[in-house]
Every structure is written in C-alpha cells, then in structure tokens.
Amino acid sequence: MLRREARLRREYLYRKAREEAQRAASERKEKVRRALEENHLIPTELRREALALHGSLEFDDAGGEGVTNHVDDEYRWAGVEDPKVMITTSRDPSSRLKMFAKELKLVFPGAQRMNRGRHEVGALVRACKVNGVTDLLVIHEHRGTPEAKPHLIIHGFSSRLGKRVSDVLRYLFPVPKEDSHRVITFANQNDYISFRHHVYRKTNHRNVELTEVGPRFELKLYMIRLGTLEQEATADVEWRWHPYTNTAHKRVFLSAA
C-alpha cells in the first residue's frame, strides 16, 4: 500500500510539473503572438527566445482548451456515478455544530454523517472557513427540507483558481432531474462565497414563487490541499490564503480582475 501511494505521488508530481511547464510555454507564445499582431514591442524578458517561440506558433492549433489534466482525474466519473459525500466535524463538537452538520447532510443528496474517532476514512480535503450561519429551522420554520437532486447556480468564479473551486463545489452534487424544483446557489463576491438554498413552484405559466429553505452561510476559501484525511500530514498544498501579507486585503483570487 505504501509503495503504491509513493508511486502515485511520483506520477502526480511528474504530470503536474509537465503541465505547469507547458502552460508557461503557452503563455509566452501567446504574449509573442499578441505583440506581433498588435504591432507592439515584444516584452523584454522574451526577446532572446522570441524567434524560437514565433517559429513554434505555426505548429500550434486551436481547440486544445479543456484538455484533461491532473486535476480532472478527481472528476473522471462526474455525471456517471453520484458523488459520495461524508459530513464530519472536529472532535467534541458543540451542539450548534452538530446541528449544522445534520443540516449539511440534508443539503447533499446521499451524504453520510460520521462522528470523528480513531477509524477515519479517506476523503478529499478542501478547506473553507464558514461565517454567518443561519439555521435551516430559523429560515424554513419546520417545513422540512426537500431531498431531490438540486440544480446549481454558480456565479462569479471567473479566474483560474475560481474555476477550480467551482469544479470542487459542482461535483459535490449529482446530476439533477429536469423536473427538480430545488436550487442551490454559490455566489462569489470579493472572495466570499454565499450559499443559498431555495425551492420554487410555478404559480401560473408566467410566474414562479421562490422560497428559501436554508441553511444560509458564507464561505471563505483558505486552502486547497491534495490528498486524503490519512495523508493530511504529507499532502501537497495546491493553494493557501495568506491573510497577513500587505496586499491581502486588496487582492481577489476567485474572480478575474
């Protein structure tokens, strides 16, 4: 088992390094191509290799966007098999946290809730800070929570990191049926992700009545870690939020500037 994990880790690091090198080369070619088309000066750092980059442009073709990479391996069965979601908490959770975990279990179709203990199963680690939780019962007044597979609205994730995060959120949910009246929204604004949960019904052929069923809360991404719970100490950190740098309060990461 340890040999297999070591081999998979080496393969992953190799693929990641190759993809980063190819992406950097594509960005340099794009800068040269844009400078030539717009009759601008070639950037200083690219002038030495400009001729070689220009020569390789004729062998590039359009349509390579969206090619499978190491990130896509996580979601190769998306849409074919329903995701398996596990809801858990820190050890010795408060009563409010237990209630929130129960409510989250209702949000994700087919999710399982597990108490933390000695025997923990593997799960992909994606870390977010949760703010401003409003309970499901406060919003919905004991009407019950729909269990249909929801339609998703994902808004404001336009940067490269934002698209990565939107994929993580999207693939937590199975593919809904067309007649599902349940809607879940993840809306990003200034790197705060608002979660809202609604159901709708048609009152007539022109009007729709929207009802919030909760819970509602805000998410703040602070880490993307590649690995499983049992690999937490050794898993690579793909991205981490650094709130104490001088420019942290001015920068946005999930949407393009």
pLDDT, tens digit, 9 for 90 and up, residues 117-165 = 544 444 444 556 676 666 554 444 445 567 789 999 999 999 988 998 9
Chain centroid to Cα 69, Å, comes to: 15
What pLDDT does residue 151 have?
94
DSSP element (H, E) containing 246: none
The pLDDT of residue 52 = 77
The reported pLDDT for the residue numbered 75 is 73
Cβ atoms of 49 and 73 closer than 8 Å: no
Over the Cα atoms of the chain, what is R_g?
22
Let me know: does 196 contact 117? Beta carbons within 8 Å: no
| pLDDT number for residue 173 | 93
| Separation of alpha carbons 104 and 167, rounded Å | 19
Structure confidence at residue 196 (pLDDT): 93
Which pLDDT score is estimated for 197?
Answer: 92
Instruction: Output b/e per residue, 166-182; b: 16+ Cβ within 10 A.
Output: bbbbeebbbebeeeebb
The separation between the first and the last C-alpha atoms of the chain, rounded to the nearest angstrom, is 44
Cα angle 44, 63, 239; round to 5 = 60
SS3 of residue 203 by DSSP: coil
pLDDT at 194: 93
Q: 243 — phi, psi (to 5°)?
A: -75, -15
The low-confidence residues of the chain, meaning pLDDT below 70, are 1-2, 54, 57-74, 116-129, 131-145, 227-234, 246, 248, 257
Instruction: State how far Cα 96 lies from the chain centre.
Output: 26
Q: For residue 124, what pLDDT is reported?
A: 44
Containing H/E element for 124? none
